[in-house]
Amino acid sequence: MQLHEKIPNNVNLSQNRRLQRALEKWQPNYLKWWKEAGPEDFQEDQIYLRTAISVDSKGWANFDYVKMPDYKWGIFLAEPEADRRISCGDNYGQPAWQEVPGEFRNHLRRLIVTQGDTEPASVEQQRLLCKIAPSLYDCRNLFQVNVEEGRHLWAMVYLLHAHFGRDGREEAEELLERRSGDFDKPRILTTFNEPIDDWLSFFMFTMFTDRDGKYQLLALAESAFDPLSRTTRFMLTEEAHHMFVGETGVMRVVQRACELMKEDPNEDARALGGIDLDTVQRYVNFWYSSSLDLFGGEISSNAADFFGAGLKGRAWEGKKFDDHVALEQFYEVDVAENGHISKKEVPLRTAMNEVLRDQYVDDNQRGVDRWNKCIAENGIDYKITLPHKRFNRKMGIYQGRHFDTLGNPISEDEFNAKASQWLPTAEDRVYIKSLMKPVLEPGKIANWLAPPKRGINNQGFDFEYIRHA
């Protein structure tokens, strides 16, 4: 472990001078990007953050006060597995690769760049949220997520620099040049260009979009390219906290809505300055459907190529599946034609995006069930639901068609007539925005949000998570 170097790492960076120099050249550009596109405020303040200092269970969660620009963004790969074998595709059972095979170079670079692009994109999307944080605790969690997404960018840039030569270095520069939502140089994937300018959206994003991250990382953890597998395995340990922020964040919005409903004679949470459950549902519908798009097309030759080459597997390929070659099987995909849905058996490899999406859907449902349990425990008769996976899709075989939230085909006119019940309206957004006033005294919290059950790292909710410089 080389912790005291300019770039903390467990990859023996000092043994490879060329690589070290190249990354040290990229580092100031990264910091320039962070100052320009990272959190708009608090850069001089001391934030109570966790920093990874090693990959074992003790060292990866080290808590202390740190100024964000001084955060130790390091390069950490999970420990190598002895004699690791390729877990899927045509080369199943062969030794995993330590170097990139020429024939898969372009595909692999593309996957790594796409993964890498989402990380800074999310930081850009969230950069103004610190100005309207509902509590010090939440503001600290936002920064924790942001610095770790920054580290995830480092993780991908390390792979580009170490294994893709000049092209890799160029891609690493471009990762700092694109900007979320920018007209000329947008980020690569759809959801990462959507604005996140209120905290309800932030909680939805960390619930649903970071969870796409979890599933894509699980798929890449199966990669035959061992450095990618080891990198993503360590990223997954950090990812769990991001989804915790999302799931418990929405849970606390829901809890507060229930409390206010019980106080109001008309059970109207908005009347008392809360976020009503119908609005929560519309935000769920939007962020969940947008995140479903991130899995790519239902029927995809790219997905088949990635799987066949062993570049990307399914989540928990070894544990959950028996046949890791997947050449003989089929997967059932619903296709929509002339207003009808019919089942179509497609070769399993071409359906790998859909297989991963279905694994993701189940994981989300478990979180939604916990929100509904909270609502029921408050004695309120309401259920939050995930819309059908055909609803409001912008990518894949359902794009350009219209479906209700149960997945039934409807006309464009019917969709437009119902859209204001299903998706956040301009009025919802104005209302939510009006609630977004900063509350930054330790122990205090905005009226629309319930406090968390406990604080971070055994600290209380009223702990001073941020010390003003």
Q: By the criterion CB under 6 A, which residues form the site for ligand BYC?
A: 111, 114-115, 118-119, 122, 149, 189-190, 209-210, 212-213, 216, 293-297, 300, 302-303, 312, 353, 395
Q: How far is the CB of 63 from ligand BYC (least distance, A)?
A: 22
Q: Give exposure, 458-469, as e/b (b: 16+ Cβ within 10 Å).
A: eeebbbebbeee
Stretch that binds Fe ion, among 65-73, 170-178, 212-220, 416-424 (CB under 5 A): 212-220
Closest separation in Å from C-beta 251 to Fe ion:
18
User: How near is the Cβ of 188 to ligand BYC at its closest, in Å?
Assistant: 6
* Contacted entry of Fe ion, ligand BYC, none for residue 290, CB cut-off 5 to 8 Å set by kind: none
User: What does the alpha-carbon distance between residue 48 and residue 61 come to, in Å, rounded to a whole number?
Assistant: 12
Name which of ligand BYC, Fe ion, none residue 247 binds, using a CB cut-off of 5 to 8 Å depending on partner kind: none
How is residue 225 annotated by DSSP?
B
- By the rule CB under 5 A, 230 interacts with Fe ion: no
Question: Among residues 45 and 171, whose Cβ is nearest to ligand BYC?
Answer: 171
Which residue, 151 or 389, has its beta carbon nearer to Fe ion?
Answer: 151
Q: How far is the CB of 160 from ligand BYC (least distance, A)?
A: 14
End-to-end Cα spacing for the chain: 32
Contact 346, 324 (CB under 8 A): no
Instruction: Number of residues interacting with Fe ion: please give it, by CB under 5 A.
Output: 6
Order of all β-strands in the sheet with 46-51: 62-67, 46-51, 466-467
State how far the Cα of 115 lies from the Cα of 195, in Å rounded to an integer. 19
Shortest gap between Cβ of 110 and ligand BYC (angstroms)?
7
Contact call for residue 242 and Fe ion (CB under 5 A) = yes
Closer residue to Fe ion (CB): 152 or 312: 152
CB atoms within 10 A of CB 62: 14
The one among 198, 210, 212, 226 contacting Fe ion by CB under 5 A: 210
Is there a contact between 330 and 323 (Cβ–Cβ < 8 Å)? no
Residue 232 contact among Fe ion, ligand BYC, none, beta carbon within 5 to 8 Å by kind: none
User: How many C-beta neighbours within 10 Å does residue 196 have?
Assistant: 25
Closest CB to ligand BYC among 363 and 414?
Answer: 363
- Closest to ligand BYC by CB, 48 vs 215, is 215
C-alpha closest to that of 216 among 284, 301, 303 = 303
Residue 1 or 236 with smaller CB distance to ligand BYC = 236
152 near Fe ion (CB under 5 A) = yes
CA distance readout (Å), 158 to 69, 151, 168: 19, 10, 9
- How far apart are CB 116 and Fe ion at their closest, in Å? 9
Question: In 10 A of CB 176, how many CB atoms?
Answer: 18
Residue 388 Cβ, how far from ligand BYC at the closest point, in Å? 18
Toward ligand BYC, which CB reaches closer, 353 or 392? 353
Instruction: Write the single-letter amino acid at 367.
Output: G
**Pair type for strands 466-467 and 340-347:** unpaired
Nearer to ligand BYC, 353 or 359 (CB): 353
114 touches which of ligand BYC, Fe ion, none (CB within 5 to 8 A by kind)? ligand BYC
What is d(CA 421, CA 281) in angstroms, rounded to the nearest whole number? 9
- Tokens coding 200: 């309800």
Per DSSP bridges, beta strands 62-67 and 330-337 are unpaired
Least spacing, CB of residue 25 vs ligand BYC, in Å: 25
Residue 224 DSSP one-character state: S
Residues that bind Fe ion (CB under 5 A): 119, 149, 152, 210, 213, 242
